Amino acid sequence: MSDTLQTIQGWTELSEQTGDTSHLDRVYPAIDRMQQLIEDVLAVAKSGRVLGTLEPVSLAECAQNAWALADTNALEPGEVQGLGEVSESGEQSERKDGTDTTHELVVDTDVVVRANPERLQALFENLFRNAITHGAGDETRSVTVSVETRRDARATPIGFAVEDDGVGIPADERDEIFEVGYTTSSDGTGFGLSIVEPITVAHGWSIDVVTADPHGTRFEVADVDCY
C-alpha cells in the first residue's frame, strides 16, 4: 500500500510542478486499486473464508497485471525498472543512490485456476514487492521473478510457484515470514507477506517457502483447482 501511496504522491506532485493535469490519469487507477486492496485486506482479516466470487483466472494474465502495479510507477507488464523517482516521461529515473537497477518478470504458465481474481492479484503483488524490495539486498542487485506451474508426478497441475533469484530468506526465519510485523527492513511495515497466507488459506490452498536454486526465495502454492 505504501508503494501505491508513493505512486499517487509522485504523479500528483509532478502535475502540480508542470501544470500538466494529464499526469493525474496515472493517479486515479492507483486510488481505485488502493481502495480495493484495503477492502480486500479488511475482509481477509475479519474472516479467512470471505472471498467473494470464485471464477476461472489466467495465472499469466493475473501475474502480469500484478507486476505492473507492484512497482511504484505502475508501468506496463514486462521489465520494470528499479524503484526510483518518477521522471516527466513517466518512466523511472535512476535510484537516489545513483544506481540504475532493473527487475524482470518471467511467466511460464498457461494454467487457469479457480480463484477470486482481486485476491489472487493481491497475493502476486505482495510476493513481487517482497522480491523487489528485500530480494535485491543492497538495492543495486537486479532481481528476476518467475511464475510457473507446479505439477505432480503425473504432470497434472496442482498449483503454482513464485520464485526470485535474490538474496533469499534465512532458514531459521522462514516460520516467521507470514507473521504480522515480520520484516528485514528498518523501514518495512511487516504487513506485506502477512496478507499472502490468509489469501491462500481462504482459497483452501497451502503455501510453503523454500530456497530457490541456486539462491533466492521460492513460494510454492498447492491444492489449487487448475484447468
Q: So where are the chain's domains?
A: 54-81+102-222
200: Cβ contacts below 8 Å, ≥ 6 apart: 123, 206, 207, 221
213: Cβ contacts below 8 Å, ≥ 6 apart: none
| 86 secondary structure, DSSP code | B
- For 102, phi then psi, to 5°, come to -120, 150
Q: For the ranges 54-68, 129-143, 171-185, which has the lowest average pLDDT?
A: 171-185
Higher per-residue confidence, 2 vs 64: 64
Report the DSSP beta bridge partners of residue 37.
Answer: none
Q: Note the CATH number of domain 54-81+102-222.
A: 3.30.565.10
Cell of 20: 500538466
Cβ–Cβ under 8 Å, residues 112 and 227: yes
What's the mean pLDDT when you consider all of the chain?
Answer: 75
Cβ–Cβ under 8 Å, residues 162 and 124: yes
Cell of 195: 496478507
pTM of the predicted protein model: 0.65
